[in-house]
Chains A and B, each alone.
Chain A
Amino acid sequence: QSVLTQPPSVSGAPGQRVTISCTGSSSNIGAGYDVHWYRQLPGTAPKLLIHSNNNRPSGVPDRFSGSKSGTSASLAITGLQAEDEADYYCQSYDSSLSGYVFGPGTKVTVL
């Protein structure tokens, strides 16, 4: 049972916008800890996609954006492309566990 919850899957047609939610609690996201997002392509290690709630590392297209409010965060992908098919994970810090926590991951399918 993950401390952070994400939908198992989301899908959209090419060009559409999809969003992935990440819901936590008062001991992690709600406590003010940053949320980070990772993309994992099949057979590869996760790669940082969004850091500190809404910041894109160099090289990440501006089609990807993040937001955070209260005990939740969201990742939005606009202009969906076939190459966006991957698993997406949110991550934060939990003060009750004194450690880092991940969401269970969301599989994005491009129809």
Chain B
Amino acid sequence: QVQLQESGPGLVKPSETLSLTCTVSGGSISPYYWSWIRQPPGMGLEWIGDIFYTGSTSYNPSLRSRVIISLDTSKNQFSLKLSSVTAADTAVYSCARVDWGRFDPWGQGTRVTVSS
């Protein structure tokens, strides 16, 4: 079965760029969409954006100016870059496969703190 695992720094300084990678195992990147979702402490879920296996992307309008999602099919990975981060970007970041509009499965999530 498909499994996802997020990786990346757990601490990012304000104004810098948050970079995370999601590794997909047990299945192929194609022909699915792959998504990033975040959850600030004590709060709800926010969709960040997604990428199709062809490389086309969609982003949350509220984050579009700061987000880039990319794909490395040779490594079965996709990545998130969020620039100019502030404390409001502190959250658990999760990757997930998009299957007919639903998110399944999810990675376990990785906590990212924005602090100097």
Contacts and interface: CB of A to CB of B under 8 A. Distances in A.
B60 A99 contact: yes
B47 interface: yes
Query: Which size bracket describes the interface of A in this complex?
Result: 20 to 34
Contacts of B46: 102
Contacts of B45: 38, 46, 89, 91, 102, 105
Interface in A13-62: 33-34, 36, 38, 44-48, 51-52, 57
Contact of B61 (A34, A89, A99, A105): A99
Contacts of A93: 101
Dominant secondary structure at the B interface: strand
A86 interface: no
Contacts of A105: 44-45
A101 B101 contact: no
Interface stretch (B11-19, B70-78, B80-88, B104-112): B104-112
Given A45-B108, A98-B58, A98-B61, A91 B44 contact: no
Contact of B106 (A2, A36, A45, A99): A45
Contacts of A102: 44-47
Interface of A: 2, 33-34, 36, 38, 44-48, 51-52, 57, 89, 91-93, 97-105
